């Protein structure tokens, strides 16, 4: 075969790869340089035919210009995508950040029709803002049924804990995206909700057989397929009772036989990120790409070494290891997906962005954000927390660098300080706020006297493993109540932690749960608990990096 033909084949193969990039323009602005390619690498790969980019970080204006630049560098029309499961504001400043999907699942139990209406509005808000910024593919909805309360990676990202709720809400969300002219993606096939292991860190092994999957996990995927979902993402999950040798991403039994043939899905199938340890601890970049493609996947997302992966798949096709028909089918599906899209970079949006007069968040988007928080707040005791001259506002958060939920002006800090509560922030980066005494675990003697507002920002988050589940917050509540120090409780995120704490919380203690963690959720949760005072004295907030004797 001539070098020219081989080069053309490589360019065709490259179209099926999606690489990761920062939404910021400059290399030194990348938040995750280990995963996000440099501009030189991006320009080279896109010029060689790479057909997709996953973006994260930056403002909505930066993202718009970034998408325009990437299109200029590309030899082919691009699939430009983002993991914005909770609205554009989750990943890009200037967008609307919405409550996590699990919030609507709880509303669905009492008002299913309202929950479905809100889920569609959720999808429309996300789709409109994504398209306005230049994106054309949203890596959502999550179709996992979160049957394991200790799930460290799905958790509140799921649309529910039962297949019927997930089916209804995920399909409504997809409908909203579709109405705004962007592609959707049902994930993580065939279901990541029962796992106790984060596939970013290790390979989850699940004991369900095909009949058990049919009874639960596959139901939302069937509904999404029937609703016309554009793509399906594989989960890096091993099901020994179905395919004992291959994780889903490289399993012909699960991808071709189950998803493609039995479930009848005709759209794009994309891998989850191949840079995740569930895959990299087993396969090299080239091997993973070849095995996934041979199993029936169409698009290869974020291989650790994209150049090596493209070469490996090209060689596998040339040698006959992978049938050339597979390439033709995948390219055809990609063309069909792109053909369904409206242009995502209209002259009107471009003019607004360049003139810096375009506000991405519309009034209806802000109203949706507020409505979602308001309709999903849960109040245990509607009794105002009294002002205190020497009160303590104790925040537990997932991380600090960067911490998108907190700033100096965040309501979780500013509102308690207005009524006399000094803020102390505990975070897990080398932090150990615990004593050895399991019955009195919090080191209160190091924090000072006075009533304490406890605010817990806890939800299932990738890369944290099971650390959040191991923190003894029930014992902390009992300790604070025993010492008559607990002035109030706010839980942001996990409904499972909230339900556990309610079991030991005194009925007289004011407490609020919000599924969301963003500033709007903080404002509404604390406004329901705090009694403001006139001309409050200024307070300080400090960060506890470690507790020392």
In this predicted structure, what is the pLDDT of residue 97? 96
- What the block records as the tokens of 24 is 């910021």
Assign 486 to helix, strand or coil: strand
The residues with which 55 forms a beta bridge, in sequence order, are 21
Task: Provide the b/e sequence for 139-176 (b: ≥16 CB within 10 Å).
Answer: bbbbbbbbbbbebbbbbbbbbbbbbebbbbbbbbbbbb
Backbone angles phi, psi at 451, to 5 degrees: -65, 155
235 within 8 A of 249, measured Cβ to Cβ? yes
Contacts 24+ apart (CB under 8 A), 495-499: 495/102, 495/106, 495/156, 496/149, 496/150, 496/155, 497/456, 497/458, 497/468, 497/473, 498/378
In this predicted structure, what is the pLDDT of residue 402? 66
The residues that are catalytic are 200, 272
In this predicted structure, what is the pLDDT of residue 347? 37
Identify which of 313, 525, 304, 541 has the alpha carbon closest to the alpha carbon of residue 418. Answer: 541
* pLDDT averaged over 10-residue windows placed end to end, the chain, 549 residues: 78 98 96 94 98 97 97 97 97 96 95 96 98 97 96 95 98 97 98 95 96 98 98 98 98 98 98 97 97 98 97 97 97 96 48 56 96 94 83 85 80 94 78 70 83 92 62 93 96 95 95 96 94 44 37
**CB under 8 Å to 98, separation ≥6 — which residues?**
86, 87, 89, 90, 122, 125, 126, 368, 369, 372, 516
Indicate the pairing of strand 486-493 with strand 452-458.
parallel
Q: Which strands form 378-379's sheet, in the order they lie side by side?
A: 378-379, 511-514, 486-493, 452-458, 391-396, 421-426, 541-544
* Eight-state DSSP code of residue 229: -
* Eight-state DSSP code of residue 291: H
Assign 393 to helix, strand or coil: strand
84-119 pLDDT tens trace: 999 999 999 999 999 999 999 999 999 999 999 999
**CB under 8 Å to 545, separation ≥6 — which residues?**
427, 429, 430, 431
Q: Cα separation of 12 and 31, whole Å?
A: 31
15 within 8 A of 51, measured Cβ to Cβ? yes
* Record: fold of 377-544: Rossmann fold (3.40.50)
In this predicted structure, what is the pLDDT of residue 546? 33
Give the Cβ contact number of residue 117 at 10 Å.
13
Q: Cα separation of 306 and 286, whole Å?
A: 8
* Record: fold of 85-319+329-354: TIM Barrel (3.20.20)
Domain spans of the chain, in order of start: 85-319+329-354, 377-544
Backbone angles phi, psi at 386, to 5 degrees: -80, 145
Q: At what angle do helices 3-14 and 306-319 cross, to 10 degrees?
A: 120
Instruction: Return the ∠ at Cα 28 (arms to 54 and 544), rounded to 5°.
Output: 95
**CB under 8 Å to 168, separation ≥6 — which residues?**
108, 112, 115, 116, 119, 223
In this predicted structure, what is the pLDDT of residue 466? 61
Backbone angles phi, psi at 464, to 5 degrees: -95, -10
Tally of CA atoms within 13 A in the half-sphere of 479 that contains its CB: 18
Q: Cα separation of 372 and 118, whole Å?
A: 8
Identify which of 180, 132, 181 has the alpha carbon closest to the alpha carbon of residue 350. Answer: 132
Identify which of 514, 545, 535 has the alpha carbon closest to the alpha carbon of residue 411. Answer: 514
Quote the pTM value.
0.91
């Amino acid at each position: 075969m001539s070098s020219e033909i081989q080069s053309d084949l490589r360019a065709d193969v490259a179209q099926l790869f999606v690489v990761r990039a920062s939404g910021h323009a400059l290399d030194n602005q990348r938040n995750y340089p280990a995963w996000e390619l440099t501009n030189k690498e991006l320009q080279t790969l896109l010029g060689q035919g790479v057909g997709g980019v996953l973006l994260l970080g930056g403002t909505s204006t930066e993202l718009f210009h970034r998408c325009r630049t990437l299109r200029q560098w590309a030899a082919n029309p691009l699939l430009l995508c983002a993991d914005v499961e909770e609205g554009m504001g989750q990943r890009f400043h200037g967008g609307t950040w919405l409550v996590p999907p699990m919030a609507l699942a709880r509303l669905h139990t009492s008002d299913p029709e309202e929950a479905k209406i809100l889920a569609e509005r959720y999808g429309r808000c996300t789709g409109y803002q994504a398209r306005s910024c230049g994106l054309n593919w949203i890596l959502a909805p999550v179709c996992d049924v979160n049957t394991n309360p200790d799930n460290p990676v799905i958790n509140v990202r799921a649309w529910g804990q039962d297949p019927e709720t997930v089916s209804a809400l995920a399909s409504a969300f997809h409908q909203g995206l579709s109405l705004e002219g962007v592609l959707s993606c049902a994930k993580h096939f065939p279901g990541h909700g029962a796992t106790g292991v984060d596939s970013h860190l290790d390979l989850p092994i699940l004991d369900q057989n095909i009949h058990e999957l049919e009874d639960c996990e596959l139901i939302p995927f069937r509904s999404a397929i029937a609703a016309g979902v554009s793509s399906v993402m594989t989960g890096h999950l091993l099901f020994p009772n179905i395919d004992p040798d291959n994780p889903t991403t490289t399993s012909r039994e699960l991808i071709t036989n189950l998803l493609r043939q039995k479930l009848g899905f005709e759209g794009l199938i994309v891998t989850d990120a191949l840079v995740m340890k569930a895959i990299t601890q087993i396969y090299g970049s080239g091997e993973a790409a070849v095995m996934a493609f041979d199993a029936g996947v169409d698009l290869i997302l974020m291989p650790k070494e994209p150049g090596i992966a493209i070469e490996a798949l090209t060689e596998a096709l040339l040698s006959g290891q992978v049938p050339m028909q597979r390439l033709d089918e995948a390219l055809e599906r990609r063309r069909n997906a792109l053909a369904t899209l409206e242009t995502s970079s209209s002259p009107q949006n471009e003019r607004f962005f360049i003139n810096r007069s375009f506000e991405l968040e519309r009034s209806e988007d802000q109203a949706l954000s507020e409505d979602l928080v308001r309709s999903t707040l849960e109040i245990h005791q509607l009794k105002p927390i009294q002002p205190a001259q020497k009160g303590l506002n104790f925040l537990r958060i997932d991380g600090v660098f960067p911490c998108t939920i907190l700033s100096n002006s965040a309501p979780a800090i500013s509102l308690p300080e207005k009524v006399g509560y000094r803020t102390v922030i505990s975070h897990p980066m080398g932090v150990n706020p615990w004593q050895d005494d399991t019955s009195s675990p919090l080191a209160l003697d190091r924090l000072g006297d006075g009533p304490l507002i406890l605010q817990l920002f806890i939800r299932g988050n990738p890369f944290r493993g099971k650390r959040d589940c191991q923190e003894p917050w029930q014992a902390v509540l009992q300790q604070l109540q025993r010492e008559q120090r607990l002035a109030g409780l706010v839980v942001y995120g996990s409904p499972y932690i909230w339900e556990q704490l309610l079991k030991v919380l005194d009925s007289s203690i004011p407490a609020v749960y919000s599924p969301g963690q963003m500033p709007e959720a903080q404002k509404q949760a604390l406004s329901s608990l705090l009694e403001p005072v006139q001309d409050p004295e200024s307070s300080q907030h400090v960060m506890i990096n470690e507790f020392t004797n």
